[in-house]
Amino acid sequence: MLTPALEAEYRAALRGALATGTALLAQGAPALDAVEATVRTLEDCPLFNAGRGAVFTHEGHHEMDAALMDGATRRAGAVAGVRAVQNPIRAARLVMEQTEHVLLAYPGADELAREHGLPMQPLEYFFTQQRFDQLQEAIAAGRVQLDHAASPPSAIDPNWKKGTVGAVARDQHGNLAAATSTGGMTNKRYSRIGDTPIIGAGTWADTRCAISCTGHGEFFMRAVVGYDVACLMEYKGLSLAEACRVVVHDKLAPVGGEGGLIAVDADGNVALPFNSEGMYRASRNAAGEELVAIY
């Protein structure tokens, strides 16, 4: 349903994000730096449901979640419900490096970011007309709206399907990292938090694999998706591709868990499975082969 012009915008944004991360890796940067920088570029792009393009809550503001994890050390940081931080993924890294905690929520997470001088933005910065219109439609329909939904419950613009952003990487030393950021679901209420900032659910990295998820968070939390992929590789000896297939298609899909994930293993193998109508994705391997795809 995308117009050619809009599809070109998405592909350009994906290529730009991919170039950001791969350039850092080529310079010898650690995987953690690469995934954080990549996610920051996507947070700054209004095409995606994270940072500047975050969806509206029922009350008409934005509550953003983010997490990142270093596979070599299993250190992790996450924030939930932040409202004013320009780049929630930077706040997540602050939690990991400047506190003794893993997950901080609003308002404390915003306070930490402000104390450490992270860029903060007013509500207007996060406003996009399409997202506001989407909120009005969702309120009229009386439900929350997931970006990946194949059949919108009302006249929500079907071309405006944008989801959680994430990045996974393997660096020159073989270390892995994952980062994820999201605005959540349109019309969400009661400070709802999804799988993105839950380590092991929407975000995971160890010495075996790095995983970043996008989809219906409640299902991804109950399935502990990120950690389940790692466990299938460790305990059953499955390959990255097979472990991802089992989780996304055999476990999530039958119970209505719509979405997908991006993954990389210690050997540099990449998996990008999804059971939804589409998933914006891009990858580059050690041989320099690139993939940019939507459907």
Peptide bond into 107 cis (omega under 30): yes
- Catalytic residue numbers read 164
Helices first, then strands: H and E counts in the chain: 8, 11
- DSSP state, 112? H
Determine the Cα–Cα distance for residues 57 and 49; give it in Å rounded to an integer. 12
Closest CA to 170 of 11, 15, 24, 13: 24
State the number of CA atoms in the 13 A half-sphere of 15 facing the CB. Answer: 9
* 3-class SS of residue 85: strand
What is the distance between the alpha carbons of residues 197 and 101, in angstroms, rounded to a whole number?
A: 13
Radius of gyration of the chain from Cα atoms? 17
- What are the respective helix, strand and coil percentages of the chain, to the nearest 5? 35, 20, 40
Q: How many CA atoms lie within 13 A of 237 on its CB side?
A: 0
Task: Assess contact for 215 and 257: CB atoms under 8 A.
Answer: yes
Task: Walk across the sheet containing 270-271 and list its strands.
Answer: 203-205, 209-215, 259-265, 270-271
Rounded CA-CA distance 175/75 in Å is 13
253-258 long-range CB contacts below 8 Å, 24 or more apart?
A: 255/219, 256/216, 256/219, 257/215, 257/216, 257/219, 257/220, 257/223, 258/146, 258/148, 258/149, 258/215, 258/216, 258/219
